[in-house]
Amino acid sequence: MEHRAKGVDAKIPPRKRTGGIQQQNDHRIAKKALDDKKGRWAEELPSILWANRTTSRTTMGQTPFSLVYGCEAVLPPEVTLPSARYGLMTPEQNDVELSENVDNTEDFREAALIRMASQQQIVTKCFNKNVKVKVFKEGDWVLLKVFQNTKELNAGKLAPAWEGPYLIDKIVENGAYRLVTKDGKSVPRSWNATHLKLYHF
């Protein structure tokens, strides 16, 4: 997908990557697009920030600008060209509307917070749908995930990912277990179920 804005050609990659990789890639694209405008970041930044602040967010249902100032931003073309939104408004009407918006700003912010909370619940629900809860009983044999600090030196890629088996000695809390080795020695600290896997003899 290509986008053209103010003479800048940028290709936006598909959003399959996540985390830092995507941010690095976005940074590379922006840097490449602005290479010919070196030293002019200060000139480009205000228009980028303006676009960011006046774009409505799905999570909030509002623009950041409207949540801060209590009214929608007037775009530069609307100042110079007559528009239906502002062309018929008198200064008195503008003052009345601004005072009403200022009075309603807190309501808008509360509505945005409620909307953000509901969006977070939707995301949590989607995430939790794929989470498989592991429940073990006392006396179950389990394998323990091998971590970077417990891995054998120079083991390489073929090192085992799980160690054990260990016996579940005690259920400490929700999803936390105390383990003992085959010899009956207690394993230090309790372990979360996400780091355990049922061992089948």
Total residues belonging to the chain? 201
Between 177 and 201, residue with greater pLDDT: 177
Mean pLDDT of the chain: 79
Q: Is the dihedral of CA 23, 27, 33, 37 positive or negative?
A: positive
Between 179 and 175, residue with greater pLDDT: 179
Q: What is the pTM of this model?
A: 0.47
Give burial (CB, 10 Å; 0-12/13-18/19+) of 177: buried
Give the pLDDT of residue 3: 46
141-198: CATH topology is SH3 type barrels. (2.30.30)
DSSP string, 142-161: EEEEPPTTTSPTT--TTS-S
User: Does the structure show a pLDDT above 50 at 116?
Assistant: yes
Give the pLDDT of residue 17: 43
Please give the Cα distance from 56 to 9 (Å, whole number). Answer: 24
Give the pLDDT of residue 47: 80
Give the pLDDT of residue 59: 79
Give the pLDDT of residue 178: 93
Question: What's the average model confidence in pLDDT over 144-153?
Answer: 80
Residue 64 token pair: 């950041």
Most confident of 3-7, 59-63, 71-75, 135-139: 135-139
Give the pLDDT of residue 78: 75
- Taking Cα atoms as reference points, which of 96, 99, 109 lies closest to residue 65? 109
- Taking Cα atoms as reference points, which of 149, 133, 152 lies closest to residue 192? 133
Please give the Cα distance from 116 to 124 (Å, whole number). Answer: 12
Question: What's the average model confidence in pLDDT over 57-75?
Answer: 81
Domain boundaries, the chain: 1-53, 56-131, 141-198
Q: 130 — phi, psi (to 5°)? A: -95, -5
User: Does the structure show a pLDDT above 50 at 86?
Assistant: yes
Between 8 and 142, residue with greater pLDDT: 142
Kind of pairing between the strands at 8-11 and 176-180: unpaired
